[in-house]
Amino acid sequence: MQDRLRVAVVTPLSEEMCELIERLEPRVEMVRDQQLLPPVRYPADHTGDRSFRRTPEQQQRFEQMIDSADALYGLPGEDSAALRRAADANPGLRWVHTMAAGGGAQIKKAELSADQLERIAFTTSAGVHSAPLTEFALFGLLAGAKNLSRLQSDQAAHTWPDRWLMGQLREQTVLVVGLGGIGAEVARLLAAMGTRVIGTSRRGAGVDGVAEVVHPDELVDVVGRVDGIVVTLPGTAATEKLVGAEVLAAVRPGATLVNVGRGTVIDEDALAEALRDGRIGFAALDVFAEEPLDPASPLWDLPNLLVSPHNAALTPAEERRIAELFAENATRLLNGKELRNPVNTVEFY
């Protein structure tokens, strides 16, 4: 336990939110200098204007602020190398909170020492994004069931076709790959709509609304009996290309695929082939293995694929929700309690 917590604000954060955190936990001092932070382009813009550059004098002040802090609100410049510098330069650094729900990947990239990973607690903003990402998942599933790409194609061609059947989620079975916070919320809402839900879990733990739980290793045996697949998994060595060529070859023809987890979970080359031959009837992706998506990527031009530029989680309330989560964790840290959303520093999720 400690009496005070000095927090360096190293990602764009409004004065209103800084004051909110200090009001919610008066033992916290939010140390910030708005001149040292890039201007925001939209609400909850954690990167800020990419053209922003600090002068050498400003960079020195920025690093001095970081090096005197007990904790960091965000990753400096969303840059893993800057995190490594902070961990090396500041032996008193005890806690770093990432803006992303999947901040583990950035921490892994910093290649911190075992001692640093032991000394510094890392937390993420997991849970803040569950509601908007769940809505995007439902949107993608509905777009597939209702054949949005066909509707758009006919509209563009000014074609009024003969009537054709649309799918209904209440008559479908959907596989939720990953039953964490987002996956559990997706499952809950799907079940409320009458959808039969299958979920994956390495621990086999049950979740409300999930009729059947399978191990991720069983994907290839399960995908042939579902109408839709929602991926919510983080990007780790264990999940990389988990939804690969073998799994996509086994899907029920015409299935819908939605990804609101991490782009590395899906083999994008195999997905492109599955979209071309109709094994995947429709896909809605908010995340990609490399972002921004390469302008030369074939994914852009597939008529049955919806590209969302990692935008599904962004809502006007995000900044406040992250600030409130941070304040709660600050109280826990100061009181010697377990933090919410700790990063697993073995698998980094």
Nearest to 106 by CA among 291, 311, 302, 317: 291
Residue 215 and residue 196: Cα distance in Å, rounded? Answer: 17
Cα angle 331, 332, 334 (rounded to 5 degrees) comes to 65
Active site residues: 262, 291, 310
The residue among 288, 280, 286 whose CA lies nearest residue 248 is: 280
User: Sheet containing 228-231: which strands, arranged edge to edge?
Assistant: 212-214, 196-200, 173-177, 228-231, 255-259, 280-285, 305-307
Token pair belonging to 64: 């001095």
How many other β-carbons are positioned within 10 Å of the β-carbon of residue 253? 11
Strand ranges of the sheet holding 28-31, from the earlier edge strand across to the other edge: 28-31, 5-9, 71-73, 95-97, 121-123
Cα gap 109→81, rounded to integer Å: 8
Separation in Å, CA 338 to CA 234, 311, 345? 22, 31, 16
3-state secondary structure (DSSP) of residue 277: helix
Q: Contact 144/172 with Cβ under 8 angstroms?
A: no
Taking the CB of residue 337, how many other CB atoms lie within 10 A of it?
A: 11
Query: Rounded CA gap, 133 and 242, in Å?
Result: 20
CA distances to 15, 60, 333 from 174, in Å: 43, 52, 39
Q: Give the bridge partners for 342, in sequence order.
A: 123
Locate 116 and state its tokens: 């640093």
